[in-house]
Amino acid sequence: MARAMFEYTKTVLQKVSFNSDLFCKEVEKAVKRLLPYEIDELTIWLRQFTANKPELYSCLALIRE
């Protein structure tokens, strides 16, 4: 079940990436919902996904401790 939530989170983030405000809100939700090891995986995925989307860089700060 937890793996399904991780995959769902990635899907939602891809769909809302057109709007940085929505993207940041979804990242915040993901950090609250996901397990610690999934947050680590999400961090890696987010760095790759936002590599060519500078408008989303500010949202990466939400997952750093």
Q: Which domain holds residue 41?
A: 20-65
Question: How many CB atoms are closer than 10 A to CB 60?
Answer: 14
Per-residue confidence (pLDDT) for residue 42, from 0 to 100? 94
- Determine, yes or no, domain membership for 61: yes
- Determine, yes or no, domain membership for 7: no
Give CA–CA dist 36/30, Å, rounded. Answer: 11
| Eight-class DSSP state of 64 | -
Per-residue confidence (pLDDT) for residue 63, from 0 to 100? 82
Per-residue confidence (pLDDT) for residue 1, from 0 to 100? 60
Number of domains the chain contains: 1
- Identify the segments of the chain with pLDDT beneath 50: none
- Determine, yes or no, domain membership for 29: yes
Quote the tokens at residue 42.
């999400």
Per-residue confidence (pLDDT) for residue 62, from 0 to 100? 84
- Determine, yes or no, domain membership for 11: no
Helix (H) or strand (E) run with residue 32 in it:
helix 20-33
Per-residue confidence (pLDDT) for residue 3, from 0 to 100? 83
pTM of the model: 0.88
